[in-house]
A and B are shown apart, each in its own frame.
Chain A
Amino acid sequence: AQSVAQPEDQVNVAEGNPLTVKCTYSVSGNPYLFWYVQYPNRGLQFLLKYITGDNLVKGSYGFEAEFNKSQTSFHLKKPSALVSDSALYFCAVGGYNKLIFGAGTRLAVHP
Chain B
Amino acid sequence: DAGVTQSPTHLIKTRGQQVTLRCSPKSGHDTVSWYQQALGQGPQFIFQYYEEEERQRGNFPDRFSGHQFPNYSSELNVNALLLGDSALYLCASSSGTGYASPLHFGNGTRLTVT
Contact = CB atoms under 8 A, between A and B. Distances in A.
Contacts of B55: 97
Given A97-B56, A98-B58, A103-B41, A43 B48 contact: no
A22 B103 CA distance: 21
Contacts of B90: 43-44
Interface in B2-53: 4, 33, 40-45, 48
Contact of B102 (A34, A95, A97, A102): A34
Contacts of A57: none
Contacts, number: 60
B99 A97 contact: yes
Contacts of A41: 107
Nearest to A51: B100
Q: Is the interface of A mostly helix, strand, loop or mixed?
A: strand
A28 B44 CA distance: 20
Contacts of A43: 4, 90, 92, 105-108
A96 B105 CA distance: 18
Interface in A36-51: 36, 41-46, 49, 51
Nearest to A94: B99
Interface of B: 4, 33, 40-45, 48, 55-56, 58, 90, 92, 97, 99-100, 102-108
27 contacts: A32-B99, A32-B100, A34-B102, A41-B107, A42-B108, A43-B90, A43-B92, A43-B105, A44-B90, A44-B103, A45-B105, A46-B103, A49-B100, A90-B42, A95-B99, A97-B56, A97-B99, A98-B45, A98-B48, A98-B58, A98-B99, A99-B45, A99-B99, A99-B103, A103-B42, A104-B41, A104-B42
